[in-house]
Structure 1
Amino acid sequence: MLNSPIDPRPPGRNADQMVMVLKKAATRQLILNGFSGLSIQRIVAEAGVSKGALFHHFPTKNHLIAAAFADLLVSFETELGGFGARLRQGEIGRTQFARHVVETFASDLFIGSMEIALAIRVEPELSELVADAVQTWRAGLNAFWIETFDLGLPPDEERVHWAMASNLLRGHAFTSTFGVEPGAREKFILGFEELMLSKAVVKNAAIQA
Protein backbone atom coordinates (compact mmCIF):
# COMPACT_ATOMS: atom_id res chain seq x y z
CA MET A 1 0.00 0.00 0.00
CA LEU A 2 1.39 3.38 -0.95
CA ASN A 3 1.94 5.95 1.76
CA SER A 4 -0.31 9.02 1.67
CA PRO A 5 1.37 12.19 0.40
CA ILE A 6 2.84 14.37 3.13
CA ASP A 7 0.99 17.64 3.56
CA PRO A 8 3.74 20.30 3.30
CA ARG A 9 1.68 22.89 5.18
CA PRO A 10 2.68 23.48 8.81
CA PRO A 11 -0.15 22.74 11.28
CA GLY A 12 -2.31 25.67 12.27
CA ARG A 13 -2.18 27.44 8.91
CA ASN A 14 -4.90 27.08 6.32
CA ALA A 15 -4.29 27.55 2.62
CA ASP A 16 -5.19 31.25 2.56
CA GLN A 17 -2.93 31.99 5.52
CA MET A 18 -0.05 30.10 3.94
CA VAL A 19 -0.40 31.99 0.66
CA MET A 20 -0.42 35.30 2.54
CA VAL A 21 2.69 34.33 4.56
CA LEU A 22 4.56 33.40 1.40
CA LYS A 23 3.59 36.59 -0.42
CA LYS A 24 4.66 38.73 2.53
CA ALA A 25 7.95 36.85 2.76
CA ALA A 26 8.60 37.36 -0.95
CA THR A 27 7.85 41.07 -0.60
CA ARG A 28 10.15 41.49 2.39
CA GLN A 29 13.00 39.64 0.68
CA LEU A 30 12.48 41.74 -2.43
CA ILE A 31 12.94 44.89 -0.35
CA LEU A 32 15.97 43.51 1.52
CA ASN A 33 17.84 41.87 -1.35
CA GLY A 34 16.36 43.19 -4.60
CA PHE A 35 14.98 41.10 -7.45
CA SER A 36 18.35 39.56 -8.30
CA GLY A 37 18.71 38.31 -4.73
CA LEU A 38 15.18 36.98 -4.44
CA SER A 39 15.93 33.27 -4.00
CA ILE A 40 13.48 30.53 -3.06
CA GLN A 41 15.70 29.60 -0.13
CA ARG A 42 15.53 33.10 1.31
CA ILE A 43 11.77 33.27 0.83
CA VAL A 44 11.02 30.00 2.59
CA ALA A 45 13.46 30.88 5.38
CA GLU A 46 11.68 34.21 5.85
CA ALA A 47 8.28 32.50 5.82
CA GLY A 48 9.40 29.67 8.10
CA VAL A 49 8.13 26.98 5.74
CA SER A 50 9.56 24.29 3.50
CA LYS A 51 10.13 24.47 -0.24
CA GLY A 52 7.41 21.85 -0.53
CA ALA A 53 4.95 24.27 1.09
CA LEU A 54 5.86 26.97 -1.41
CA PHE A 55 5.49 24.73 -4.43
CA HIS A 56 2.26 23.31 -3.02
CA HIS A 57 0.70 26.75 -3.56
CA PHE A 58 2.80 28.24 -6.37
CA PRO A 59 4.10 26.27 -9.38
CA THR A 60 7.22 28.44 -9.68
CA LYS A 61 8.97 31.31 -7.94
CA ASN A 62 7.69 33.62 -10.65
CA HIS A 63 4.10 32.70 -9.82
CA LEU A 64 4.73 33.72 -6.21
CA ILE A 65 6.43 36.97 -7.24
CA ALA A 66 3.54 37.80 -9.57
CA ALA A 67 1.01 37.20 -6.79
CA ALA A 68 2.97 39.36 -4.35
CA PHE A 69 3.35 42.07 -7.00
CA ALA A 70 -0.39 42.13 -7.66
CA ASP A 71 -1.05 42.57 -3.94
CA LEU A 72 1.45 45.44 -3.79
CA LEU A 73 -0.25 47.26 -6.64
CA VAL A 74 -3.66 46.87 -5.00
CA SER A 75 -2.31 48.23 -1.71
CA PHE A 76 -0.79 51.26 -3.49
CA GLU A 77 -4.03 51.97 -5.32
CA THR A 78 -5.97 51.76 -2.06
CA GLU A 79 -3.54 54.04 -0.25
CA LEU A 80 -3.56 56.65 -3.01
CA GLY A 81 -7.34 56.49 -3.22
CA GLY A 82 -7.50 57.27 0.49
CA PHE A 83 -5.39 60.40 0.03
CA GLY A 84 -7.61 61.51 -2.85
CA ALA A 85 -10.75 61.03 -0.76
CA ARG A 86 -9.27 63.02 2.14
CA LEU A 87 -8.35 65.86 -0.21
CA ARG A 88 -11.83 65.95 -1.77
CA GLN A 89 -13.41 65.97 1.67
CA GLY A 90 -11.23 68.85 2.83
CA GLU A 91 -9.39 66.82 5.48
CA ILE A 92 -5.99 67.63 3.97
CA GLY A 93 -4.69 70.41 1.75
CA ARG A 94 -3.08 70.19 -1.66
CA THR A 95 0.50 70.34 -0.35
CA GLN A 96 -0.16 67.65 2.25
CA PHE A 97 -1.79 65.53 -0.45
CA ALA A 98 1.26 65.95 -2.68
CA ARG A 99 3.55 65.01 0.22
CA HIS A 100 1.59 61.81 0.96
CA VAL A 101 1.59 60.79 -2.71
CA VAL A 102 5.31 61.47 -3.17
CA GLU A 103 6.19 59.53 -0.01
CA THR A 104 4.04 56.60 -1.12
CA PHE A 105 5.86 56.42 -4.45
CA ALA A 106 9.22 56.73 -2.67
CA SER A 107 8.43 54.01 -0.11
CA ASP A 108 10.46 50.81 0.15
CA LEU A 109 7.44 48.81 -1.01
CA PHE A 110 7.03 50.85 -4.17
CA ILE A 111 10.76 50.73 -4.88
CA GLY A 112 10.54 46.95 -4.56
CA SER A 113 7.64 46.83 -6.98
CA MET A 114 9.66 48.89 -9.45
CA GLU A 115 12.35 46.21 -9.39
CA ILE A 116 9.75 43.70 -10.52
CA ALA A 117 8.52 46.15 -13.17
CA LEU A 118 12.09 46.33 -14.52
CA ALA A 119 12.55 42.56 -14.29
CA ILE A 120 9.51 41.79 -16.43
CA ARG A 121 11.32 43.39 -19.38
CA VAL A 122 13.76 40.48 -19.43
CA GLU A 123 11.61 37.74 -17.86
CA PRO A 124 8.97 36.71 -20.44
CA GLU A 125 7.19 34.31 -18.07
CA LEU A 126 6.98 36.89 -15.29
CA SER A 127 5.84 39.54 -17.78
CA GLU A 128 2.95 37.32 -18.83
CA LEU A 129 2.03 36.49 -15.24
CA VAL A 130 1.80 40.14 -14.14
CA ALA A 131 0.22 41.52 -17.33
CA ASP A 132 -3.32 41.70 -15.94
CA ALA A 133 -2.17 43.24 -12.64
CA VAL A 134 -0.13 45.91 -14.47
CA GLN A 135 -3.03 46.78 -16.75
CA THR A 136 -5.37 47.06 -13.76
CA TRP A 137 -2.83 49.23 -11.92
CA ARG A 138 -2.42 51.62 -14.85
CA ALA A 139 -6.19 52.00 -15.21
CA GLY A 140 -6.58 52.47 -11.45
CA LEU A 141 -3.82 55.07 -11.31
CA ASN A 142 -5.41 57.07 -14.12
CA ALA A 143 -8.81 56.82 -12.41
CA PHE A 144 -7.24 58.06 -9.15
CA TRP A 145 -6.11 61.30 -10.78
CA ILE A 146 -9.30 61.80 -12.80
CA GLU A 147 -11.54 61.17 -9.76
CA THR A 148 -9.52 63.61 -7.64
CA PHE A 149 -8.93 66.54 -10.01
CA ASP A 150 -10.54 68.34 -12.92
CA LEU A 151 -8.18 70.06 -15.37
CA GLY A 152 -10.93 71.31 -17.66
CA LEU A 153 -9.18 69.66 -20.63
CA PRO A 154 -10.30 67.06 -23.18
CA PRO A 155 -10.01 63.51 -21.79
CA ASP A 156 -6.98 62.62 -23.94
CA GLU A 157 -5.08 65.69 -22.75
CA GLU A 158 -5.96 64.95 -19.13
CA ARG A 159 -4.65 61.41 -19.49
CA VAL A 160 -1.36 62.72 -20.89
CA HIS A 161 -1.03 65.22 -18.03
CA TRP A 162 -1.60 62.59 -15.34
CA ALA A 163 0.67 60.09 -17.09
CA MET A 164 3.40 62.74 -16.90
CA ALA A 165 2.63 63.24 -13.19
CA SER A 166 2.94 59.51 -12.53
CA ASN A 167 6.19 59.33 -14.49
CA LEU A 168 7.64 62.20 -12.46
CA LEU A 169 6.76 60.37 -9.26
CA ARG A 170 8.34 57.14 -10.49
CA GLY A 171 11.46 59.00 -11.57
CA HIS A 172 11.80 60.62 -8.16
CA ALA A 173 11.28 57.25 -6.50
CA PHE A 174 14.04 55.70 -8.61
CA THR A 175 16.55 58.48 -7.93
CA SER A 176 15.70 58.27 -4.22
CA THR A 177 17.25 54.81 -4.11
CA PHE A 178 20.64 56.52 -4.51
CA GLY A 179 19.91 58.87 -1.62
CA VAL A 180 18.64 62.44 -1.57
CA GLU A 181 20.19 65.60 -0.22
CA PRO A 182 18.58 67.22 2.82
CA GLY A 183 15.60 69.24 1.69
CA ALA A 184 15.56 67.74 -1.79
CA ARG A 185 12.34 65.82 -1.25
CA GLU A 186 10.54 68.88 0.10
CA LYS A 187 11.65 70.83 -2.98
CA PHE A 188 10.38 68.05 -5.22
CA ILE A 189 7.02 68.00 -3.42
CA LEU A 190 6.56 71.74 -3.85
CA GLY A 191 7.76 71.60 -7.46
CA PHE A 192 5.44 68.69 -8.24
CA GLU A 193 2.50 70.54 -6.72
CA GLU A 194 3.25 73.67 -8.73
CA LEU A 195 3.88 71.88 -12.02
CA MET A 196 1.19 69.20 -11.97
CA LEU A 197 -1.50 70.28 -9.49
CA SER A 198 -1.65 74.08 -9.45
CA LYS A 199 -4.11 74.32 -12.37
CA ALA A 200 -6.18 71.33 -11.29
CA VAL A 201 -9.48 71.85 -9.48
CA VAL A 202 -10.15 69.43 -6.62
CA LYS A 203 -13.42 67.62 -7.22
CA ASN A 204 -16.04 67.96 -4.52
CA ALA A 205 -16.64 64.69 -2.68
CA ALA A 206 -20.27 65.61 -1.95
CA ILE A 207 -21.00 66.17 -5.63
CA GLN A 208 -19.37 62.86 -6.58
CA ALA A 209 -21.43 61.01 -3.97
Structure 2
Amino acid sequence: MATPTRVPQEERTRAMRLRLLEATVELLVEKGYGGTSTTLVSQRAGVSRGAQLHHFPTKNDLVLAAVVHLAEVRGAEVAQAAGALRGGQRRTREVLQVLADHFTGPVFAAALELWVAARTDETLREAVGPLEGHIGREVHRLTVEALGIDESRPGARELVQGTLDMVRGLGLANTLTDDSARRARILDAWARVLDDHLEAP
Protein backbone atom coordinates (compact mmCIF):
# COMPACT_ATOMS: atom_id res chain seq x y z
CA MET A 1 0.00 0.00 0.00
CA ALA A 2 1.37 3.40 -0.98
CA THR A 3 2.30 5.76 1.82
CA PRO A 4 0.29 9.01 1.67
CA THR A 5 2.42 11.94 0.56
CA ARG A 6 2.72 14.57 3.27
CA VAL A 7 2.31 18.15 2.13
CA PRO A 8 5.11 20.31 3.58
CA GLN A 9 4.01 22.77 6.27
CA GLU A 10 5.19 25.76 4.21
CA GLU A 11 3.00 24.66 1.28
CA ARG A 12 -0.02 24.11 3.54
CA THR A 13 0.47 27.58 5.04
CA ARG A 14 0.71 29.16 1.59
CA ALA A 15 -2.46 27.38 0.45
CA MET A 16 -4.32 28.48 3.60
CA ARG A 17 -3.26 32.11 3.14
CA LEU A 18 -4.38 31.99 -0.50
CA ARG A 19 -7.81 30.63 0.52
CA LEU A 20 -8.17 33.45 3.03
CA LEU A 21 -7.19 36.10 0.48
CA GLU A 22 -9.50 34.70 -2.21
CA ALA A 23 -12.35 34.53 0.31
CA THR A 24 -11.69 38.18 1.20
CA VAL A 25 -11.92 39.21 -2.45
CA GLU A 26 -15.14 37.22 -2.93
CA LEU A 27 -16.73 38.86 0.11
CA LEU A 28 -15.62 42.33 -0.96
CA VAL A 29 -17.50 41.73 -4.22
CA GLU A 30 -20.60 40.22 -2.59
CA LYS A 31 -20.93 42.27 0.61
CA GLY A 32 -18.70 45.31 0.17
CA TYR A 33 -15.95 46.49 2.47
CA GLY A 34 -18.31 47.23 5.37
CA GLY A 35 -19.93 43.79 5.14
CA THR A 36 -16.64 41.90 5.04
CA SER A 37 -15.49 40.60 8.42
CA THR A 38 -12.70 38.31 9.54
CA THR A 39 -15.31 35.84 10.83
CA LEU A 40 -17.03 35.62 7.45
CA VAL A 41 -13.69 35.30 5.69
CA SER A 42 -12.57 32.37 7.85
CA GLN A 43 -15.95 30.65 7.33
CA ARG A 44 -15.80 31.15 3.55
CA ALA A 45 -12.20 29.94 3.37
CA GLY A 46 -12.89 26.89 5.54
CA VAL A 47 -10.17 27.97 7.96
CA SER A 48 -10.47 28.01 11.74
CA ARG A 49 -10.72 31.41 13.44
CA GLY A 50 -7.53 30.63 15.34
CA ALA A 51 -5.56 29.91 12.16
CA GLN A 52 -6.98 33.00 10.45
CA LEU A 53 -6.09 35.22 13.41
CA HIS A 54 -2.59 33.72 13.48
CA HIS A 55 -1.96 34.85 9.89
CA PHE A 56 -4.08 38.02 9.90
CA PRO A 57 -4.83 39.30 13.44
CA THR A 58 -7.04 42.18 12.28
CA LYS A 59 -9.37 43.01 9.41
CA ASN A 60 -6.87 45.63 8.23
CA ASP A 61 -4.07 43.04 8.10
CA LEU A 62 -6.32 40.79 6.04
CA VAL A 63 -7.51 43.52 3.70
CA LEU A 64 -4.01 44.93 3.14
CA ALA A 65 -2.78 41.46 2.17
CA ALA A 66 -5.80 41.15 -0.12
CA VAL A 67 -4.81 44.45 -1.78
CA VAL A 68 -1.44 42.96 -2.74
CA HIS A 69 -3.12 39.74 -3.89
CA LEU A 70 -5.64 41.73 -5.94
CA ALA A 71 -2.86 43.69 -7.62
CA GLU A 72 -1.18 40.47 -8.72
CA VAL A 73 -4.44 38.92 -9.94
CA ARG A 74 -5.51 42.04 -11.86
CA GLY A 75 -2.14 42.37 -13.57
CA ALA A 76 -2.11 38.69 -14.53
CA GLU A 77 -5.72 38.84 -15.81
CA VAL A 78 -5.02 41.70 -18.22
CA ALA A 79 -1.69 40.25 -19.38
CA GLN A 80 -3.25 36.85 -20.11
CA ALA A 81 -6.20 38.33 -22.01
CA ALA A 82 -3.94 40.66 -24.01
CA GLY A 83 -1.64 37.76 -24.88
CA ALA A 84 -4.55 35.76 -26.32
CA LEU A 85 -5.59 38.49 -28.80
CA ARG A 86 -5.58 37.76 -32.50
CA GLY A 87 -4.31 40.10 -35.20
CA GLY A 88 -6.40 41.51 -38.01
CA GLN A 89 -8.89 44.23 -38.70
CA ARG A 90 -10.87 43.87 -35.47
CA ARG A 91 -7.87 43.86 -33.14
CA THR A 92 -8.40 47.39 -31.80
CA ARG A 93 -11.98 46.60 -30.83
CA GLU A 94 -10.84 43.35 -29.20
CA VAL A 95 -8.23 45.23 -27.14
CA LEU A 96 -10.97 47.57 -25.93
CA GLN A 97 -13.12 44.56 -25.04
CA VAL A 98 -10.29 43.07 -22.96
CA LEU A 99 -10.07 46.35 -21.04
CA ALA A 100 -13.85 46.57 -20.66
CA ASP A 101 -14.02 42.99 -19.37
CA HIS A 102 -11.33 43.82 -16.82
CA PHE A 103 -13.05 46.98 -15.60
CA THR A 104 -16.46 45.30 -15.31
CA GLY A 105 -15.28 42.03 -13.74
CA PRO A 106 -15.45 40.91 -10.11
CA VAL A 107 -11.77 41.61 -9.42
CA PHE A 108 -12.28 45.26 -10.37
CA ALA A 109 -15.44 45.39 -8.22
CA ALA A 110 -13.40 44.21 -5.23
CA ALA A 111 -10.71 46.80 -5.97
CA LEU A 112 -13.40 49.47 -6.19
CA GLU A 113 -14.60 48.59 -2.70
CA LEU A 114 -11.07 49.15 -1.44
CA TRP A 115 -10.77 52.50 -3.24
CA VAL A 116 -13.92 53.77 -1.55
CA ALA A 117 -12.80 52.53 1.87
CA ALA A 118 -9.31 53.98 1.36
CA ARG A 119 -10.75 57.45 0.84
CA THR A 120 -11.33 57.77 4.59
CA ASP A 121 -8.86 55.17 5.93
CA GLU A 122 -5.31 56.51 5.86
CA THR A 123 -3.64 53.13 6.51
CA LEU A 124 -5.56 51.51 3.69
CA ARG A 125 -4.93 54.49 1.41
CA GLU A 126 -1.18 54.23 1.97
CA ALA A 127 -1.31 50.60 0.80
CA VAL A 128 -3.81 50.99 -2.03
CA GLY A 129 -2.30 54.12 -3.61
CA PRO A 130 1.12 52.73 -4.64
CA LEU A 131 -0.36 49.43 -5.82
CA GLU A 132 -2.96 51.19 -7.95
CA GLY A 133 -0.17 53.26 -9.43
CA HIS A 134 1.74 50.08 -10.29
CA ILE A 135 -1.35 48.42 -11.80
CA GLY A 136 -2.15 51.57 -13.78
CA ARG A 137 1.34 51.68 -15.31
CA GLU A 138 1.22 47.97 -16.15
CA VAL A 139 -2.22 48.19 -17.81
CA HIS A 140 -1.04 51.27 -19.73
CA ARG A 141 2.04 49.37 -20.96
CA LEU A 142 -0.02 46.33 -22.00
CA THR A 143 -2.50 48.57 -23.83
CA VAL A 144 0.30 50.33 -25.74
CA GLU A 145 1.77 46.97 -26.75
CA ALA A 146 -1.57 45.42 -27.69
CA LEU A 147 -2.56 48.40 -29.86
CA GLY A 148 0.92 48.86 -31.32
CA ILE A 149 0.88 52.57 -30.51
CA ASP A 150 4.04 54.64 -30.89
CA GLU A 151 4.01 56.86 -27.81
CA SER A 152 6.67 59.14 -29.28
CA ARG A 153 3.97 60.54 -31.59
CA PRO A 154 2.40 63.75 -30.25
CA GLY A 155 -0.77 63.02 -28.31
CA ALA A 156 -0.37 59.23 -28.42
CA ARG A 157 0.29 58.79 -24.70
CA GLU A 158 -2.66 61.00 -23.81
CA LEU A 159 -4.86 59.01 -26.19
CA VAL A 160 -3.96 55.77 -24.43
CA GLN A 161 -4.52 57.29 -21.00
CA GLY A 162 -7.82 58.78 -22.16
CA THR A 163 -8.84 55.34 -23.41
CA LEU A 164 -8.11 53.77 -20.02
CA ASP A 165 -9.91 56.55 -18.16
CA MET A 166 -12.94 56.14 -20.42
CA VAL A 167 -13.10 52.36 -20.05
CA ARG A 168 -12.67 52.65 -16.28
CA GLY A 169 -15.58 55.10 -16.27
CA LEU A 170 -17.68 52.63 -18.25
CA GLY A 171 -16.82 50.03 -15.62
CA LEU A 172 -18.05 52.35 -12.88
CA ALA A 173 -21.29 52.96 -14.79
CA ASN A 174 -21.83 49.21 -14.88
CA THR A 175 -21.75 48.82 -11.10
CA LEU A 176 -25.36 49.99 -10.66
CA THR A 177 -27.05 48.76 -13.84
CA ASP A 178 -26.25 46.50 -16.78
CA ASP A 179 -24.68 49.00 -19.16
CA SER A 180 -23.42 46.47 -21.71
CA ALA A 181 -25.45 47.65 -24.73
CA ARG A 182 -24.42 51.31 -24.40
CA ARG A 183 -20.85 50.28 -23.57
CA ALA A 184 -20.61 48.21 -26.76
CA ARG A 185 -21.72 51.18 -28.90
CA ILE A 186 -19.20 53.48 -27.23
CA LEU A 187 -16.38 50.96 -27.66
CA ASP A 188 -17.29 50.49 -31.35
CA ALA A 189 -17.05 54.25 -31.89
CA TRP A 190 -13.84 54.60 -29.89
CA ALA A 191 -12.20 51.74 -31.81
CA ARG A 192 -12.73 53.77 -35.00
CA VAL A 193 -11.10 56.82 -33.37
CA LEU A 194 -8.08 54.75 -32.34
CA ASP A 195 -7.81 53.14 -35.78
CA ASP A 196 -7.87 56.57 -37.43
CA HIS A 197 -4.98 57.61 -35.18
CA LEU A 198 -3.04 54.39 -35.86
CA GLU A 199 -3.49 54.73 -39.62
CA ALA A 200 -2.63 58.45 -39.75
CA PRO A 201 0.80 59.20 -41.26
C-alpha contact (below 8 Å) 2:32/2:113 kept by paired residues: yes
Residue aligning to 2:80: 82
Moved more, 121-130 or 18-27: 121-130
- Please, which runs of 5 or more residues in structure 2 have no aligned partner? 1-8
Residue aligning to 1:117: 115
Residue aligning to 2:6: none
Query: Are 1:158 and 2:156 counterparts?
Result: yes
Deviation at 1:156, TM superposition (A): 7.9
Deviation at 1:150, TM superposition (A): 4.1
Residue aligning to 1:8: none
Residue aligning to 1:73: 71
Query: Are 1:40 and 2:38 counterparts?
Result: yes
TM-superposition CA deviations, 1:77-134 (whole Å, max 9, x none): 2222233334475597332332232122111221121111222121111122334422
Query: Are 1:20 and 2:21 counterparts?
Result: no
C-alpha contact (below 8 Å) 2:115/2:128 kept by paired residues: no
Residue aligning to 1:140: 138
C-alpha contact (below 8 Å) 1:150/1:200 kept by paired residues: no
CA distance in 2, matches of 1:179, 1:124: 30
Which residue type is aligned with residue 144 of structure 2?
A: I
The two structures have a TM-score, normalised by structure 1, of 0.77
C-alpha contact (below 8 Å) 2:67/2:127 kept by paired residues: no
CA distance in 2, matches of 1:30, 1:161: 32
Which residue type is aligned with residue 195 of structure 2?
A: S
CA distance in 2, matches of 1:121, 1:155: 36
Moved more, 108-117 or 14-23: 108-117
CA distance in 2, matches of 1:82, 1:201: 24
C-alpha contact (below 8 Å) 2:114/2:128 kept by paired residues: no
The correspondence for 1:99, drawn from 88, 97, 100, is: 97
Cα pair distance change 1:118/1:160, threshold 3 Å: farther
- Percent of counterpart pairs with the same letter? 23
RMSD: 2.8
SS at match of 1:177: coil
The two structures have a TM-score, normalised by structure 2, of 0.80
CA distance in 2, matches of 1:56, 1:155: 53
- Please, which runs of 5 or more residues in structure 1 have no aligned partner? 1-10, 203-209
Deviation at 1:68, TM superposition (A): 1.8
Residue aligning to 2:166: 168
C-alpha contact (below 8 Å) 1:151/1:200 kept by paired residues: no
TM-superposition CA deviations, 1:32-77 (whole Å, max 9, x none): 1011211112111111223322221124222221222222222222
Residue aligning to 1:3: none
Cα pair distance change 1:182/1:173, threshold 3 Å: closer
CA distance in 1, matches of 2:118, 2:133: 14
